[in-house]
Structure 1
Amino acid sequence: MGPIVSSDVPTPFADLLSKALNIRSITLVDFLSNTLILRQTAPYLPVTSLVALAKTSRAFRHIVRQSPDAFRYLDLSPIKSAICPIDEPLDSGGNNWRRERMDESLTEDDFYSGPLRSIFSKLERQHLLRNVHTLVLDGLSVTAELVKEFMTEERYNVRILSIREVKHLNERKLQQYLRYVSRPSRPAGTPRVKSIYLFGPREPPAPTMSVTKRSASPDSRGVMSSQGAQIGAEWNQKSTDALNAALARTEAKWYQPSGRMMVKRPSADWAEILQSCEGIIAFDAVLCRGPRHDPSKAYITEGPANGLPLPGSFLRPAIATVALGPSGCENCHSSPEEPAIFGHSAPSHFPLLSPVPLHWSSTRAAQTPRMLDGSRPPPLFVRCEDCLKGRWCERCHKWWDEECYAGSTVAQRTELQQTEFLETLEPDGTTHVVPKQSIKVHMGLCVAKCLVDEWMAGAGGNGMWG
């Protein structure tokens, strides 16, 4: 980096100005020697760039190796040496982690986690491993045994771990390890990992400037396969995302009407794991707090029918997979379980937000939504799909809660409006007649708009009615 005074200024005047202001030439070494600047800059640099920078001079080597901030955030996802070449024979060699004799003592964990263990071994020899507080391993081969080491071994100091869409991860073993590290009798200071990104999709790759060529295959023929249609669809999606972000005042997808947030629906066992880890380890998912998961609301607790299930019967704990937006129920703009309000509700009610924070390695930083206008975060409405069955439009994401719309069970049984009025019994014994509410959701679409749009499209033979 050149002098702080522009070279366009006449030299005598520049010298006088520098002397008057006591300014000397500031180099890149001077900038990166500042802890604040290095901490803000290093997460944006790929690890390969940091390693290359350390090789340029002794001064840069000292900055990278001695500063605790250079490797505070470590993303190994794009590193080729971290990828396990599972298509090669076991005894082909070629990597440091595979130079040892391949015999019967080689376990599955040793093979699949070998590339990452080799990298961590190098970082430990260079005294850099303990500086890593945020570790991103998305898409790599990560075994449950390796995750257990992150949580229990003192040589690691990882606080935020991202293992989204990883390969060769034994979920059953990982669940056992999570139960173990979150047990009430666990040692003080454990587990070391406080936040785990596991359920959501990994970050999309950075967009490139090159335009994808149109495929010449027979399957590529058609209007929507043309380059112009693809570009138009991409811009429509960008416009929708921008509108949702503006309405929610944040780019955090969990606070927008984003619909399904997970590519793969988590198994029921994961809900129990989140319960056991509550207040100990945070995840990029939360438990559904709908009334059907509350025994006191899902069963009749008074009168002759005490203990019998209501029309919406009790559900086991489940992970909330659907983001409903900040507006709540289409009718009352709230919900029976009350939305999660950031700063007031329990921390366990908030998921870790994507992307993984670059500069802070705390659970609160990972859960805090960044507001576009600097205002307070909006309420968080999330539920599981079972609680939304028959009351949520999968296209426009409008939904109605149990207190405003009781037609979900009727819709599941007959899909038709059976009667025009209902007779209800008041607590004092009197009765009155109220209009029966019309069906709001049919086949996953709201009947007011999206179902009509689908029907109109199907009139031409291209939709669900064609």
Structure 2
Amino acid sequence: MGPLIVPDSSLPTTLADLLSNSLVLRQTAPYLPVSALYSLAATSKSLHHIVLHSPEVFRHLDLSTVKSAVVPYAPLDSGGISWRSERMDESLTEDEFYSGPLRGIFSKLERRRLLQNVHTLVLDGLSVPADLVREIIAEDRFNVRILSIREAKNLNERKLMQVLRYAVRPTRPQGSPRIKGIYFFGPREPAPKPDAQSNKKPSPTISRGVMSSQGAQIGAEWNLKSSEALNTALARTEDKWYQCTGRVLAKRPSLEWAETLKACEGIIFFDVVLCRGPRHDPTKAFVSEGPTTGVPNPASYLNPAIATVALGPSGCETCHSCPEGAAAFGQSPVSQFPLLSPLPLHSASIRAAQMPHTIDGSRPPPLFVRCEECLKGRWCERCHKWWDEDCYTGSAIAQRTELQQTEFTEAVQASGASHLAAKKTIKVIGVRRDCFGCGHTCIDCKELFIRQCRTCRNEYCIEDNDASSDTRCDWCNYTSRRTLEMY
């Protein structure tokens, strides 16, 4: 046995010495893009060995910023011109064509024995056909736990739903599928803004009125920032699902997706959850057996639907709760919580992806989410106040009920007070559509934004009618000569 060689303590610590520590490497590698990792591996033999032989480096792999992962071809719908110019095999399918760049990257990682180390895979915005998703879920060469395919291109949703239903079938092998979470419905992470502004002169734009001016744009931006700061302070978290965000998803998912999430419940988790309103429970919902009037009953049964509206942490405006109960993190079943954005960098567990992070380190707020059908007539789209089924039955159409008006009139007559004084003492609930721009609003928002024109006596919104004033609508406030424009 040779003599023990002790490293010279007088030599400075190198980057290779730091990265050779698995803890430091695991905390550092997710922040580096793939191009930076390969550039680092090309600097020296020691760093090359650390990057390409450590299982910690590619545990979180983000390919959304890799240029070679983008399909550089034109769509195949142009008569097959681009297809034939490449002289490709006629037996090549469309999914194989669009998944070519990603298959090439996966092949390289597999040859270097790095593909098995990937636990979190981000493919946002790339060309990801459903067949490629099936391979990631089903094949043993992949070991992905969390997959992100938000805003993916060339992805057949119906085929993807079939892949997911087959993966969670009752006769599946034990321990499958390996994948536990999929990000699909939410928007992808925004690209980081450059610190230094470009020296190029801005291109001239056509003026489109007062709202296109620089002052109006700055004011709108500050209003948005102040609203987001207020929501964060009230909910004590920056996660949109726990704030009074309103509609979280830009596009409402189909009912087929709700059935797919119902089949995957408890096996594969998504960045959305199913609505747990009482109308989705067949034991609580009302099922009419007599003749119908053509208008659905407010308490009738609803098929499973995805919750798309975030209602904030305070619950119902009257009872501050809901019939199905709020979802409390750490106490309620994990199937009641969505995967939160951004993706966790240092862990591929579902708990890490679902855990909300509060700004003060306190206990996470409760989660109140519903689908729009369960909130019809009982949710204000401006201030996001809402009432549950126990506090306000509502109606099938989004208007205030006749019972409210009757109770209001009787209270005014019984008290003998003025109309304005009685209006302050009685709390009118429910919503109606007073403005097509604002959506369904409550009585408080109507008093703030809806005015009655002194000239034509019609109601108007002071925010959506740009040319209006506080006393006149945009039509009556327009002083120039009016002409009838047919087209």
Tell me, yes or no, whether TM beats 0.5: yes
For residues 6-25 of structure 1, the aligned pairs below 5 Å read 24-25=11-12
* Residue 160 of structure 1 pairs with residue 143 of structure 2: no
Distance verdict in 2 for CA 1:213–1:243, change over 3 Å: farther
* Residue 378 of structure 1 pairs with residue 365 of structure 2: yes
Counterpart code for 2:234: L
Deviation per CA, 1:160-207: give whole Å up to 9, x if none: 000001111111111111111101110122112110001111111112
Decide whether the 8 Å contact of 1:298 with 1:310 is kept in 2. Answer: no
**Could you state the TM-score of these two structures normalised by the residue count of structure 2?**
0.81
* Residue 217 of structure 1 pairs with residue 205 of structure 2: yes
Decide whether the 8 Å contact of 1:261 with 1:321 is kept in 2. Answer: yes
- Deviation at 1:310? 5.2
* Residue 204 of structure 1 pairs with residue 190 of structure 2: yes
Question: How many angstroms apart in 1 are the aligned matches of 2:430 and 2:376?
Answer: 12
Counterpart code for 1:68: P
Decide whether the 8 Å contact of 2:298 with 2:394 is kept in 1. Answer: no
Question: How many angstroms apart in 1 are the aligned matches of 2:222 and 2:11?
Answer: 48
Question: How many angstroms apart in 2 are the aligned matches of 1:230 and 1:79?
Answer: 33
Decide whether the 8 Å contact of 2:123 with 2:152 is kept in 1. Answer: yes
> Structure 2 residue aligned with 1:127, among 103, 113, 129?
113
Partner of 2:73: 86
For residues 285-300 of structure 1, the aligned pairs below 5 Å read 285-299=272-286
> Structure 1 residue aligned with 2:128, among 135, 138, 142?
142
Decide whether the 8 Å contact of 1:141 with 1:167 is kept in 2. Answer: yes
Decide whether the 8 Å contact of 1:454 with 1:463 is kept in 2. Answer: no
- Deviation at 1:215? 4.7
Give secondary structure in 1 for the equivalent of 2:121.
Answer: strand
Deviation per CA, 1:285-319: give whole Å up to 9, x if none: 100000111122212699xxxxxx85321110000
Question: How many angstroms apart in 2 are the aligned matches of 1:415 and 1:82?
Answer: 60
Partner of 1:395: 382
Deviation per CA, 1:409-448: give whole Å up to 9, x if none: 46448789553389xxxxxxxxxxxx99845311144333
Decide whether the 8 Å contact of 1:139 with 1:167 is kept in 2. Answer: yes
- Deviation at 1:85? 2.1
* Residue 440 of structure 1 pairs with residue 445 of structure 2: no
Distance verdict in 2 for CA 1:357–1:92, change over 3 Å: farther
Partner of 1:430: none
> Structure 1 residue aligned with 2:352, among 365, 369, 385?
365
Of 76-85 and 456-465, more deviation after overlay is shown by 456-465
Partner of 1:235: 222
**Could you state the TM-score of these two structures normalised by the residue count of structure 1?**
0.84
Decide whether the 8 Å contact of 1:150 with 1:192 is kept in 2. Answer: no
Question: How many angstroms apart in 1 are the aligned matches of 2:247 and 2:38?
Answer: 39
- Deviation at 1:213? 6.1
For residues 54-133 of structure 1, the aligned pairs below 5 Å read 54-87=41-74, 89-93=82-86, 101-133=87-119
- Deviation at 1:90? 2.5
Decide whether the 8 Å contact of 2:136 with 2:142 is kept in 1. Answer: yes
Decide whether the 8 Å contact of 2:124 with 2:152 is kept in 1. Answer: yes
Counterpart code for 1:319: I
Question: How many angstroms apart in 2 are the aligned matches of 1:463 and 1:149?
Answer: 57
Give secondary structure in 2 for the equivalent of 1:408.
Answer: coil
Decide whether the 8 Å contact of 1:133 with 1:361 is kept in 2. Answer: yes
Question: How many angstroms apart in 1 are the aligned matches of 2:443 and 2:201?
Answer: 40
* Residue 244 of structure 1 pairs with residue 247 of structure 2: no
> Structure 1 residue aligned with 2:466, among 452, 462, 466?
462
Counterpart code for 2:314: S
Decide whether the 8 Å contact of 1:398 with 1:446 is kept in 2. Answer: no
- Deviation at 1:453? 3.4
Decide whether the 8 Å contact of 1:405 with 1:437 is kept in 2. Answer: no
Decide whether the 8 Å contact of 2:298 with 2:395 is kept in 1. Answer: no
> Structure 2 residue aligned with 1:320, among 288, 293, 307?
307
Question: How many angstroms apart in 1 are the aligned matches of 2:73 and 2:306?
Answer: 32
Partner of 1:450: 445
Question: How many angstroms apart in 1 are the aligned matches of 2:330 and 2:10?
Answer: 45
Distance verdict in 2 for CA 1:412–1:34, change over 3 Å: same
Decide whether the 8 Å contact of 2:69 with 2:105 is kept in 1. Answer: yes
Give secondary structure in 2 for the equivalent of 1:292.
Answer: helix
Give secondary structure in 1 for the equivalent of 2:182.
Answer: strand
> Structure 1 residue aligned with 2:174, among 174, 188, 191?
188
Counterpart code for 2:191: P
Give secondary structure in 2 for the equivalent of 1:168.
Answer: coil
Partner of 2:479: none
- RMSD, aligned α-carbons: 2.8
Distance verdict in 2 for CA 1:79–1:151, change over 3 Å: same
Counterpart code for 1:109: D
Question: How many angstroms apart in 2 are the aligned matches of 1:459 and 1:163?
Answer: 41
> Structure 1 residue aligned with 2:165, among 175, 179, 193?
179
Distance verdict in 2 for CA 1:23–1:408, change over 3 Å: farther
Counterpart code for 2:123: L
Report percent identity of matched pairs.
Answer: 65
Distance verdict in 2 for CA 1:327–1:439, change over 3 Å: closer
Decide whether the 8 Å contact of 1:410 with 1:416 is kept in 2. Answer: no
- Deviation at 1:31? 1.0
Deviation per CA, 1:24-80: give whole Å up to 9, x if none: 411111111111111111111011100111111111110110111111111111111
Distance verdict in 2 for CA 1:236–1:412, change over 3 Å: closer
- Deviation at 1:103? 2.7
Decide whether the 8 Å contact of 2:297 with 2:396 is kept in 1. Answer: no
Deviation per CA, 1:90-124: give whole Å up to 9, x if none: 2555xxxxxxx513211001111111111111111
Give secondary structure in 2 for the equivalent of 1:90.
Answer: helix
Counterpart code for 2:144: V
* Residue 35 of structure 1 pairs with residue 38 of structure 2: no
Distance verdict in 2 for CA 1:410–1:458, change over 3 Å: closer
Give secondary structure in 2 for the equivalent of 1:278.
Answer: coil
Decide whether the 8 Å contact of 1:144 with 1:170 is kept in 2. Answer: yes
Question: How many angstroms apart in 1 are the aligned matches of 2:44 and 2:84?
Answer: 38
Give secondary structure in 2 for the equivalent of 1:135.
Answer: strand
Counterpart code for 2:461: G
Distance verdict in 2 for CA 1:240–1:436, change over 3 Å: closer
> Structure 2 residue aligned with 1:264, among 245, 251, 255?
251
Decide whether the 8 Å contact of 2:376 with 2:397 is kept in 1. Answer: no
Decide whether the 8 Å contact of 1:195 with 1:363 is kept in 2. Answer: yes
